[in-house]
Structure 1
């Protein structure tokens, strides 16, 4: 009887790893080209502005926007996430970044999601760009914004220097956070 109890957690972990491997695109291993990243960023921005009322106006007031589309996250008590994206200023790609993070604690499942950091102040954007490995929650606080019931952003209540959004989730993951995630500039 005890052998079966030990075997079940092992099988669950193996199944989660298989699901994560099946969901993970080849870009994790080889890195995406600048063109691939820009196409994915464009699609993510289009989805965000189409689905969220007031998004275009909100993004137009930003000093810079970092979009990391198709972030892969998975875990079973120990988890990780990875994605590649672009920093845009004035609608133009300035730099490319990766997001990588690991965590330990209550989490189970696998998912794909889009992450967006909106820099509302020039000082926060400059600090991010000058960093060699900017870590959310350590090098800067990211206020995670909620999208309203009607799919809208209440811009009158957002006063933080950096505002984060997680959207477009596919899959099932208990426990979503970007705290501790590290953003590193890529050469593309």
Structure 2
């Protein structure tokens, strides 16, 4: 193995350590549906309290995927993990994990909550049928950053999927290529 290859391997291994360590406390290893549901309830209560306009999105949506805590970390290579529940009509119908992978110039760790509002029945059915659905260009994102108001405009509410991201903590900077994959789980 050449010196450069050893360095690349060592840096990759070191980048994986914080990503794996960061996953503790976000539902990984807690195999209870009751734990996930309690976290989903708390996340929705916080979102509705902090951003009352999201109640309108919830009322108009066919379903919501609530991810109470997604933890990401990276140093060159990065990853993230979280667990949540799909709610239809206010009731949990399935449980999902979210896995994120990224590569590029990056350093740091962050945690945040996010809710996907499925604004059409077709979007909800497509998500439920296609295990491994990944966030793509058909999802509009509403992002709360540094105390600014969270808002969803009329064009946002007409999108098939609206993602609301809030409750950020930590700092992760860099330019990366990344993807987010949702998979159905049995807690």
TM over 0.5: yes
Q: How far does residue 48 in structure 1 lie from its aligned partner after superposition?
A: 0.7
Relative to structure 1, is the Cα distance of residues 131 and 16 closer, same or farther in structure 2, using a 3 angstrom cutoff? closer
Deviations 1:80-134 (A, max 9, x none): 0100000001111110000012111122101111121110011111000001211
What's the secondary structure of 2:31's corresponding residue? coil
Q: Give the Cα separation in 2 of the matches to 1:151 and 1:135.
A: 27
Relative to structure 1, is the Cα distance of residues 113 and 87 closer, same or farther in structure 2, using a 3 angstrom cutoff? same
What's the secondary structure of 1:53's corresponding residue? coil
Relative to structure 1, is the Cα distance of residues 86 and 175 closer, same or farther in structure 2, using a 3 angstrom cutoff? farther
Partner residue of 2:155?
A: 157
Q: Give the Cα separation in 1 of the matches to 2:121 and 2:38.
A: 26
Query: Unpaired runs of 5+ in structure 1?
Result: 1-6
Q: How far does residue 70 in structure 1 lie from its aligned partner after superposition?
A: 1.3
Query: Unpaired runs of 5+ in structure 2?
Result: 1-6
What's the secondary structure of 1:174's corresponding residue? strand
Contact 1:81 1:102 in 2 (8 A): yes
Alignment of 1:101-112 (within 5 A): 101-112=100-111
The CA RMSD measured in Å over matched residues stands at 2.9
Task: Establish whether residue 92 from structure 1 lines up as the match of residue 91 from structure 2.
Answer: yes
Partner residue of 1:76?
A: 75
Q: How far does residue 135 in structure 1 lie from its aligned partner after superposition?
A: 1.5
Deviations 1:18-70 (A, max 9, x none): 59626722742x24310000011111111111111311122111111001111
Alignment of 1:1-188 (within 5 A): 17=17, 21=21, 24-25=24-25, 27-28=27-28, 30-137=29-136, 141-147=138-144, 151-158=149-156, 159-174=158-173, 180-188=179-187
Q: Give the Cα separation in 2 of the matches to 1:129 and 1:26.
A: 23
Where has structure 1 moved over 3 Å in runs of 4 or more?
A: 13-20, 146-150, 175-179
Q: How far does residue 153 in structure 1 lie from its aligned partner after superposition?
A: 2.2
Structure (1 or 2) with the greater strand fraction: 2
Deviations 1:135-188 (A, max 9, x none): 122xx7221113497634234231210111221111111259996211011113
